[in-house]
Amino acid sequence: MKDRTRQAQETERVLQGTAVSRGIGIAPVHVVARGFSAPEVYPITDVEAEQARFENALAVTRGQLSELQKRIEAISGEHESRIFEAHLMMIEDKAIVDRVNEAIAERKQNAEFALYAVAQNFLEAMRRVPDPYLRERTTDIEDVCQRVLRNFSHEDQRDGHPSDNHILVAYDLSPSDTASMDRRHLHGFATEMGSVNSHTAILARSLGIPAIVGLQGAVLEVRALTPAIIDGYTGKLILNPTPETFARYERVRTEKERVRHKLEAQRNDEAVTTDGRRITLSANIELVKELPFVKHSGARGVGLYRTEFLLLEGEQIPGEDFQARTYTQLARALAPDPVIIRTLDSGGDKLPVEPLLEPEPNPFLGWRGIRVSLDRPAMFKEQLRAILRASAHGKVAVMFPLVSGIMEVRRAKDLVKEAMDELAAKNIPFDENIDIGVMIELPSAAIIADLLAPEVDFFSIGTNDLIQYTVAADRVNYRVADLYRPTHPAVIRLIKRTIDAAIQNGIWTGVCGEMAGDVRLTPLLLGLGVEELSVGPHQVPRVRHAIRALSHAECAAMADEALRTPLSKDTLELTTELATKYYRDLID
């Protein structure tokens, strides 16, 4: 850290949250709250000049709002124009203006960020009042603040800039926010919301970003640019660390880096147990830009390419040609290793071309996954044709999500055949023998795995949803988080049932959910008979090391005992004991 003087002047504080992604990050804090994006923050020395910039931005905004008010009044009348009168009143509010000027002087930070910080305090207070009218006014405050922020001049000479390296503190982050982060400079993130099993936490682990959730009130308590340490092992965010704390964490980070380099040195080694059982170890990815991480990890291809980030980021779903280019890029880059492309796995509320008019009462039991694709065959076949076109350039497989019964599989396969016929009619090459698989995420699919297996070439168990639907506990709901147990006897038996049905029908079974990346559970999954594990690229070295340290026979004996065990905690103890015996350094 550069700013050791300031660090020594302020007291060390520790905020405790829940660790969701391992790692140590040391960097200044950047803060993002709800409502609108945080502006850049940087230190200033001339307080009066910065306050003058604020006054100038307010003046420009007043002029714009007055002009808008006049134009709307001329078009629609006085009543409709009053919304801008309310906006004008907000920027004239002496309490807000004075507080921003005070924040500039106290924080010694730029006016844009001072306005943002003050506004977020007001907004959070208003969101928590019982009066619905006042809560609705938060949108107006956000709109006015965004307008003022756009009216700041960015041509002024600045006294300094924050380091590009940072720890992000936010109210919440969406999976797309997490996936699109610039990981060259992000040293970790901490959020007020979220859970261990949320999509955002899963992505953080996949991307190797230290992360903490459940830091209540952090957005309002933490000041931007504060020196900090994020401990993704214990869930601590340490603000203004003392020199002693810095030194201790530098030692921890050095030791963890030593272990990481040791594991990465094995990246060309096969994932084979001590008694010769070979496991396919592949990677889960969301974005093409993750390919270098896949290559560096030594993963044998991609076991799960989530297409939602490609299809749902824009205002409309990309066309067939754009999709085909993306899938082809993956296929060529990974050849001769395979890439398994999962078709759109999203709720109907996320479709940019067809937003639901009202929210579903229970979206997790609603219109999502393969159900959406089958109901929109034209959209589905466009994706299937793009996947098939890519199959001419590498080893590509297609996988259907959220399958609940055999007719869904047959209908999806019929559409694959139609897509093949359409490409053949245009003499467009594709792999006529492309592998087709299904995600086993629902108890209904696991129970009839023996009926599904003859229809497909492989199973991939999505343990995140399988657990959630089996124990009827939303994995992101902290109130029932203790019920979400990967080692629940029902979950273990469903996994075993699926694997046995696959073996009897000559197809393979993989796991692409969070269980696959948890090295405590590697002995259990190997013992149950899993043949493939697909994990985040940054988790590959750890899982490879675990596989190479274990005896499959010993794992199988332990799994047999686990299948007879009535309590989740006892099964977790059994598999953790075996993991600790052979690779304690990965468990601690």
Residue 355: band (very low, low, confident or very high) from pLDDT cuts 50, 70, 90: low
| Catalytic hit among 199, 488, 538, 545 | 199
DSSP letter at 190 equals: E
Residue 357 confidence (pLDDT) above 60? no
Indicate the range of 134-138, 155-159, 501-505, 511-515 predicted with least confidence.
155-159
Largest Cα span, the chain = 83
- The percent of residues above 90 in pLDDT, for the chain, comes to 58
pLDDT, tens only, 144-164:
887 888 888 544 433 333 347
- From CA 250, how far away is CA 152, in angstroms rounded? 39
pLDDT, tens only, 390-449:
999 999 999 999 999 999 999 999 999 999 999 999 999 999 999 999 999 999 999 999
pLDDT, tens only, 465-496:
999 999 999 877 778 888 999 999 999 999 99
| Catalytic hit among 145, 187, 488, 512 | 512
Going from the C-alpha of 71 to that of each of 35, 140, 144, 150, 204, the distances in angstroms are 27, 19, 18, 21, 47
Pair of tokens at residue 226:
């504060």
- From CA 539, how far away is CA 531, in angstroms rounded? 17
| Beta strand extents in 431-497 (DSSP E only) | 435-440, 458-461
**Looking at residue 154, what is its pLDDT?**
46
**Looking at residue 83, what is its pLDDT?**
58
The neighbour count for residue 543, using CB atoms within 10 Å, is 26
For strands 532-535 and 508-511, give the pairing: parallel
For the chain, give every domain's residue range.
Answer: 4-32+166-253, 47-150, 266-587
- Is 199 known to be catalytic? yes
- Answer CATH for 4-32+166-253 from 3.90.76.10, 3.30.420.40, 2.60.120.10, 3.50.30.10: 3.50.30.10
Name, of 68-82, 91-105, 325-339, the range with top average pLDDT. 325-339
pLDDT, tens only, 44-66:
999 999 999 999 999 888 888 78
**Looking at residue 131, what is its pLDDT?**
62
Strand, helix or coil at 399? strand
210 preceded by cis ω (within 30°)?
no
Residue 246: band (very low, low, confident or very high) from pLDDT cuts 50, 70, 90: very high
Q: Which of 228, 251, 170 is nearest to 204 (CA)?
A: 170
- Three-state SS for 345-365 is CCEHHHCCCCCCCCCCCCHHH
Residue 1: band (very low, low, confident or very high) from pLDDT cuts 50, 70, 90: very low
**Looking at residue 477, what is its pLDDT?**
77
Per CATH, the homologous superfamily of domain 266-587 is: Phosphoenolpyruvate-binding domains (3.20.20.60)
336 preceded by cis ω (within 30°)?
yes
Residue 132: band (very low, low, confident or very high) from pLDDT cuts 50, 70, 90: low
- Is 145 known to be catalytic? no
For the entire predicted model, the pTM comes to 0.75
pLDDT, tens only, 170-226:
888 776 667 667 777 899 999 988 888 777 788 788 778 999 998 888 877 888 789
Pair of tokens at residue 353:
């071309």
Residue 314 confidence (pLDDT) above 50? yes
Decide which of 324 and 165 is more confident: 324
**Looking at residue 126, what is its pLDDT?**
73
Summarize the confidence of residues 218-240 as an average pLDDT. Answer: 90
**Looking at residue 466, what is its pLDDT?**
97
**Fold of domain 47-150:** Enzyme I; Chain A, domain 2 (1.10.274)
Residue 128: band (very low, low, confident or very high) from pLDDT cuts 50, 70, 90: low
pLDDT, tens only, 100-116:
999 999 889 899 888 88
Name, of 65-74, 153-162, 342-351, the range with top average pLDDT. 342-351
